[in-house]
Amino acid sequence: MISSRNKRSLGLLKLGLVVASVALFLATALVYVSQTRQQAFLTATIRSSGWVAYQAQLEFVRAQAEFAKLAIVPSALGIDKLMLRLEILRSRLPLLYDSDEGRVLSDVVDTRGPTQIFEARLDQIIDDVARLDPEDGDTAAQLRELSTELEPLGEALQTILMESVAYNQEIFRRERALAQRPGATPLLLLFISGACLAAVLILQSRRDRIRMGEIVEAQATLAAVEENLRAVIQAVPACVVVIDPDTDHVSFFNPSAADLVSPSLDDPAWPRFVNAVRVAAGEPDTSRWGALTMGYARSPGDIVSLRGSVGSVLWERRQQQLIVLVDTSRVRNAELQVMQAAKLATLGEMATAIAHELNQPLAVIKMAVANARRLLDPLPGGEPVAAKLERISAQVDRAKRITDQVRRYGRMPTEQLLPFSLRHAVELAAGFVAEQFRAANIRLSIETSAPAELLVFGEQTMFEQVIVNLLINARDAYETQDEDRPEAAHHEGGAGDRQSGAGEREVQVAIRLENARAVVLVQDNAGGVPPEMLERLFEPFATTKPTEKGTGLGLSLARSVIRDMNGTIVAENSGGGARFVINLPTSHALAAQDAA
């Protein structure tokens, strides 16, 4: 890219070269004209400057010859001839300084001074000759005297003639020199002028090339920007539509708009869409951009809510309406869900508070029932009332279990997950139920292939509660089996299978480390979860147990606790019973992440 400073200096250089070439051209012309004129002048000078001196000299010689002839034989005719010669000589003298040639000559030698001295003398001589008498014996002597008087004029004329010849020779030499190198200077000037013009042309073409390069570069940049903008418009997850405000014809739509409305412009969905825009945006306003919120029925019952803006753009050299819309239906649904979740949270808090508050009256009822039993005991015939009191007491226990579970369920998860030994927690939980398992004749085995120091993160007591719940559920499943098939309960070991109906009662707990995650398996052989229950197993209040025994909150609470530990819990029927699999992140997973 050429800088503006460089551009300015290039421009100045170009202007200087143009001025120089024009000046040189003019100078060339002037030199040429002046040389031509000089040469013409020299030629003219050569032709004429010696001529008048020569003529005067010739006439002087002729006059002297007449003098000499007449001195030998004086005659009237000879005198007349001499007179004529002298007159001609006299007429030649002013020409030496007062003609064009004479004036050129006087630049070289003084012709006026010497010539005018002799003009008066010559007039006198002419008068003297006119008075001569050829018959007079003295005439010859007088003629010689007059001739002698004229001799200095001959010398002067000789000098002038010699000077003029010398001058002529000099002029001739200069003229020859000029003729030999007629165009050297103008040619040189012309060459320099041409070189200047060539330099201007080179500079101009270089500048044009740079400009052309800049234009091509700018065009390429513009094309790339346009390409990028098109790609953005195509890729943007918002609907971009251009509508001609005069005809309501859709000029452009991007893939998101095609997904929302239709990929084909012939589809009647498009006029419906344009109409919905018109209803929401009102009359097209080409002067400004405005917000646009609208609903659009894709099909009966499927209404999407859209939000965006509408404005005027120059599209395909016409002022058209650009509409950019985002489908906000999901956001609205999410808002509704958030509101629902907030309501549920409030409800949960209320439930926890109610459960807490109920504990007190339940304790009072329990105590009152116990007192009533004690008072009733000595009285005869009180058995039916005692049985009723027993039922009240059992229901109070059930209500207490429910409130306890609700309180646990509604507790806030701990913000900080603390590490604890998985194996230790499982063993503690197993310890809680060991007595009950022995009484029910159920073998409980814990098998672990995971290291003893394997740590998981969460609230240990809550996790223990989860394992206890799974083990109690297994025990209850055996009890249910017994109730379904009473003869099996008296079978050796009391073992039963929902499918086989035979075998040892055994609950196996296995702890493993798989792909840097802890896996806890709780497997029984008590016949498995009733199929109708499998889908709703983790939902609150889903239970198959009698009302005085089950709350249906145990597994729901288990899932909530495992989620808080960033883990998962799933259930399936396998191996003649139910299998629960808990998957948890461990300290090993963190170590692996750190190493990566």
User: Could you give the CA distance from residue 494 to residue 388 in angstroms, rounded to a whole number?
Assistant: 33
Instruction: For ligand ADP, give the closer residue by CB, 330 or 549.
Output: 549
Question: What number of chain residues touch ligand ADP (CB under 6 A)?
Answer: 22
Instruction: For ligand ADP, give the closer residue by CB, 169 or 547.
Output: 547
Indicate which single residue of 154, 255, 451, 550 sits in contact with ligand ADP (rule: CB under 6 A): 550
569 binds ligand ADP (CB under 6 A): no
Indicate which single residue of 55, 147, 403, 473 sits in contact with ligand ADP (rule: CB under 6 A): 473
Per DSSP, 506 falls in state: E
Q: Which residue is nearest to ligand ADP (CB)?
A: 554
469 binds ligand ADP (CB under 6 A): yes
* Distance from the first to the final alpha carbon of the chain: 48
Q: Residue 506 Cβ, how far from ligand ADP at the closest point, in Å?
A: 13
Instruction: For ligand ADP, give the closer residue by CB, 258 or 533.
Output: 533
Return the closest-CA partner of residue 108 out of 53, 151, 154. Answer: 53
Instruction: For ligand ADP, give the closer residue by CB, 272 or 545.
Output: 545
Q: Residue 452 Cβ, how far from ligand ADP at the closest point, in Å?
A: 27
Q: Residue 383 Cβ, how far from ligand ADP at the closest point, in Å?
A: 31
Own/partner pairs, 25-28, CB within 8 angstroms, 24+ separation: 25/189, 25/190, 25/193, 27/189, 28/186, 28/189, 28/190, 28/193
Instruction: Restricting to residues 40-79, name those near ligand ADP by CB under 6 A.
Output: none
Q: Residue 482 Cβ, how far from ligand ADP at the closest point, in Å?
A: 13
Coil vs helix vs strand at 483: helix
User: Could you give the CA distance from residue 539 to residue 232 in angstroms, rounded to a whole number?
Assistant: 45
CA distances from 234 to 76, 227, 248, 252 (A): 135, 10, 22, 11
User: Could you give the CA distance from residue 596 to residue 592 in angstroms, rounded to a whole number?
Assistant: 6
User: Could you give the CA distance from residue 576 to residue 525 in angstroms, rounded to a whole number?
Assistant: 5
581 binds ligand ADP (CB under 6 A): no
Indicate which single residue of 186, 410, 552, 585 sits in contact with ligand ADP (rule: CB under 6 A): 552
Instruction: For ligand ADP, give the closer residue by CB, 456 or 569.
Output: 569
477 binds ligand ADP (CB under 6 A): yes
Q: Residue 541 Cβ, how far from ligand ADP at the closest point, in Å?
A: 8
Instruction: For ligand ADP, give the closer residue by CB, 285 or 479.
Output: 479
User: Could you give the CA distance from residue 43 to residue 231 in angstroms, rounded to a whole number?
Assistant: 86
Binding mask 343-362 for ligand ADP (x = CB under 6 A): --------------------
Binding mask 530-549 for ligand ADP (x = CB under 6 A): x--x---x----xxxx----
User: Could you give the CA distance from residue 149 to residue 113 in angstroms, rounded to a whole number?
Assistant: 18
193 binds ligand ADP (CB under 6 A): no
Indicate which single residue of 168, 254, 403, 551 sits in contact with ligand ADP (rule: CB under 6 A): 551
Instruction: For ligand ADP, give the closer residue by CB, 346 or 547.
Output: 547
User: Could you give the CA distance from residue 392 to residue 385 in angstroms, rounded to a whole number?
Assistant: 10
Per DSSP, 492 falls in state: G
Amino acid present at 136: D
Q: In what helix (H) or strand (E) does residue 368 lie, and over which residues does it extend? A: helix 329-376
Residue 151 CB burial class (10 angstroms; 0-12, 13-18, ≥19): exposed
Instruction: For ligand ADP, give the closer residue by CB, 185 or 543.
Output: 543
555 binds ligand ADP (CB under 6 A): yes
Indicate which single residue of 323, 578, 582, 584 sits in contact with ligand ADP (rule: CB under 6 A): 578
Binding mask 510-529 for ligand ADP (x = CB under 6 A): --------------x-x-xx
The Cα diameter of the chain in Å comes to: 230
Per DSSP, 182 falls in state: S
Return the closest-CA partner of residue 47 out of 39, 36, 57, 35. Answer: 39
554 binds ligand ADP (CB under 6 A): yes
444 binds ligand ADP (CB under 6 A): no
192 binds ligand ADP (CB under 6 A): no
Q: Residue 476 Cβ, how far from ligand ADP at the closest point, in Å?
A: 6
Instruction: For ligand ADP, give the closer residue by CB, 196 or 555.
Output: 555
User: Could you give the CA distance from residue 563 to residue 122 in angstroms, rounded to a whole number?
Assistant: 154
Residue 197 CB burial class (10 angstroms; 0-12, 13-18, ≥19): middle
- Provide the binding-site residues for ligand ADP, judged by CB under 6 A: 469, 473-474, 477, 524, 526, 528-530, 533, 537, 542-545, 550-552, 554-556, 578
